Structure 1
Amino acid sequence: MIPAQPHLKAAFSTNSLAWVDADFVRARHLVFYDVTPTRADFLDAPEFRPVASGIGDSRPAAGGCPVGAEPTHLGGSVAARLACLEGCGVLFTTALSDHTALRMTREGTFPVVIERRRAIDDVIARLQVLMTRDPPLWMCRLLRYGRPPQGRTALMSSAHDAF
């Protein structure tokens, strides 16, 4: 049973603002869209600047990242980026460490690593096709397709709904 108009907040790691062309940790931008089967609405594109010490990207310049997303130390870059993903269902990137992928998944965002750069519009179009035709399991979980009725026991629902 597919809801009438499911929504999926999608993020894309990018340097160009038009292509998925960057590693999650080194991307200058994370671009966010609200994707439905028939529309894709741009939400935000926070920019990350390098730290003065040259350690790497860490601070969002502006945009929809929470105030608490400021870096704390060396790991601040990943922490700030993960904080920006709050409420996001899926992230498309060209590279991601296993440790970061696990942290991201625990926080509710499904990471997808794309082997070669692709236009963000093409990735969104593919998402829209998947939303209407044959959604993969991760998408079904995010959109709560096939969710058991509220009266089910916790044991039954935890086996199917857990991330």
Structure 2
Amino acid sequence: MKVAFATEDGVLVNAHFGQSPMFTVFEIRLSGVQFLEHRQLAPGSDENEAGKIASRIGLIEDCALIFLVQIGASAAAQVTKRTIMPVKVAYGSSIAEQVQRLQNMLARNPPMWLAKILHAEEGSGKVES
């Protein structure tokens, strides 16, 4: 599954969804983890509140999870409508640690919310282990 992290530096989860200048994206599988890319916001995409949300959703629409520090109610509703689950973590959390934690959850007995995402991706043919 693809997982995005709202970040200002590509190292820490340190951004609010609506103000994040970029998202760091990983592919996380039972068999391993692969860094995919840093997805940066295009210049001028922050013209209004609706544009802020839409441009950021466009960058992560292929992801199952988005780790972030904070997200507004309107943005959270739009993100979840796209079947992307927002996961709030403490400001300054290490992306590497969050990736490792998520992979550990997958390897053991994943919580219900994560098992549901995995099951949905398996049904669509997206998951490779």
Give the shorter-chain TM-score range: 0.7 to 0.9
Instruction: Specify every segment of 5 or more residues in structure 1 that has no aligned partner in the other structure, as ranges.
Output: 1-7, 52-57, 60-70, 148-163
| Identical columns (%) | 25
Alignment of 1:133 with 2:126, yes or no, is no
Question: Which one has more relative contact order, counting CA pairs under 8 Å at least 6 apart?
Answer: 2
CA 1:29–1:49: 2 relative to 1, 3 Å? same
RMSD of aligned residue pairs (Cα, Å) = 2.2
The TM-score normalised by the length of structure 2 is 0.84
Q: Deviations over 1:34-64 (max 9, x none)?
A: 011342111121212563xxxxxx26xxxxx
User: Matches of 1:134 and 1:116 in 2, distance apart?
Assistant: 27
Equivalent pair of 2:41/2:55 in contact (CA under 8 Å): no
Q: How many residues align?
A: 122
The list of structure 1 runs, each at least 4 consecutive aligned residues, that deviate by more than 4 angstroms after superposition, is none
Instruction: Specify every segment of 5 or more residues in structure 2 that has no aligned partner in the other structure, as ranges.
Output: 123-129
Structure showing the higher helix proportion among its residues: 2
The equivalent residue for 1:103 is 78
The equivalent residue for 1:76 is 51
Equivalent pair of 2:18/2:75 in contact (CA under 8 Å): no
The TM-score normalised by the length of structure 1 is 0.68
User: Matches of 1:74 and 1:94 in 2, distance apart?
Assistant: 18
Bigger Rg, which one: 1
